[in-house]
A and B are shown apart, each in its own frame.
Chain A
Amino acid sequence: MADSAAEARIDQILVARALLGDDRRAFEQLVRRNQGMVRAQLRRLLQSDEAAADDLAQETFLLAWRKLGQFRNEARFSTWLHRIAYGCFLQACRTKSWAARRAQDDEMEHLPTPVQAMDLRLDLARAMRHLSTAEQTVLLHCAQLGLSHEEAAYVLAMPLGTVKTHATRGKAKLKTWLAAWHDAAGEERIP
């Protein structure tokens, strides 16, 4: 927590430097410090379409550079970047085919019973794809990118209650679908 606060403070100082003297080196530091998570966010949102994700990440940072004066410290700089990135993603969805691909991911009742525990990660990925788009998006931001519910609500422009509901429902579905893994693991432990 303290580390996170210190990181946020460093970002804040770099933003101030970038704004005051039009300091490109300060902004470069901000890009270096935050590109990894922003690109990871976009790759997940675009289902591993790396080229498209990097194009959107580049657009995100160029937009952040232009709008830097509008950053008001109401959220951490990294959270502000995630919000811009998500906005770019939504904008791209309106014109590209990713939205149609995501829409095909209907909810499912059951997954096939797993065979080997080493496939758990693959099945989790499959289970995630069968959550609703909103549930996937909320779990990506909260559980994987490590944002709080409040920060996820800010990034996704959703009411806080809606974020919590999607997170709870998404986890409940994953629990149901992955219960067989848990049972299998339990049986292996019992002689």
Chain B
Amino acid sequence: MNSIHDDDIDALLRQSFDGPIADDGFCDRVMQQLSRRRRPSAWPLAAGVLVGAAMCSLSLFTSPLWRAAWHGWLVGEWSNSSIIMLSIMAGMSLLALAWTLAEADDH
């Protein structure tokens, strides 16, 4: 018996496929049904940022580290606390920037 190769079967399957269907008005019918796409509103993101910032401030308000850093900034001194707080804020900003850039790249 002669053997049939996978390539033969692939070729047969390709030959038996009629290919793409002609449009025949299909596209126009779809476009007539198309509704206006709702744009995602920006308020949930803005509200989330505000609520997050408020919660963060509330939780830090009683922290001695925050008080020491705040005091340092007021008197214009670079204390350890102010440097730590500044580094944390810079780190968070960089993370947010990287996330934004990654999202923008995806689109």
Closest-by-CB residue of B relative to A22 is B37
- B90 nearest CB across to chain A (Å): 30
Min distance, Cβ A149 to any Cβ of chain B, angstroms:
13
Residues of A within 8 A of B (CB): 16, 19, 22, 24, 27-28, 31-32, 35-37, 39-40, 43-44, 54, 57-58, 61-62, 65-66, 68-69, 72-73, 120-121, 124-125, 128, 139, 143-145, 171, 174-175, 178-179, 182-183, 186
How many residues in B have their beta carbons less than 8 Å from beta carbons of A? 34
Distance (whole angstroms) from the CB of B41 to the closest CB of chain A: 13
User: Which candidate, B10-18, B53-61, B71-79, is the interface stretch facing chain A?
Assistant: B10-18
What's the count of A-B pairs with C-beta under 8 Å? 100
Q: How far is the CA of A27 from the CA of B6 in the complex (A)?
A: 38
Q: Knowing A43-B21, A171-B6, say if A32 contacts B27 (CB, 8 Å).
A: yes
Per the bound structure, the CA–CA distance linking A22 and B39 in Å amounts to 9
Residues of B within 8 A of A27 (CB): 34
B40: interface (CB < 8 Å):
yes
| Chain B contact residues, CB within 8 Å of chain A | 1-4, 6, 8-10, 12-23, 26-27, 29-31, 33-37, 39-40, 106-107
Q: Which 7 A-B pairs have the closest CB atoms?
A: A36-B20, A143-B13, A144-B17, A39-B21, A175-B4, A186-B2, A61-B30
Q: Given the known A-B contacts A143-B10, A183-B1, are A35 and B34 also in contact in the complex, defined by CB atoms under 8 Å? A: no
A43: which B residues are within 8 A, CB to CB? 21
Chain A contacts of B26 at CB under 8 A? 35, 39, 54, 57-58
Nearest A-chain residue to B10, judged by Cβ: A143
Chain A residues lying within 8 Å of B21, measured Cβ to Cβ, are 35-36, 39-40, 43
Flag if A31 contacts B16 (CB, 8 Å).
Answer: no
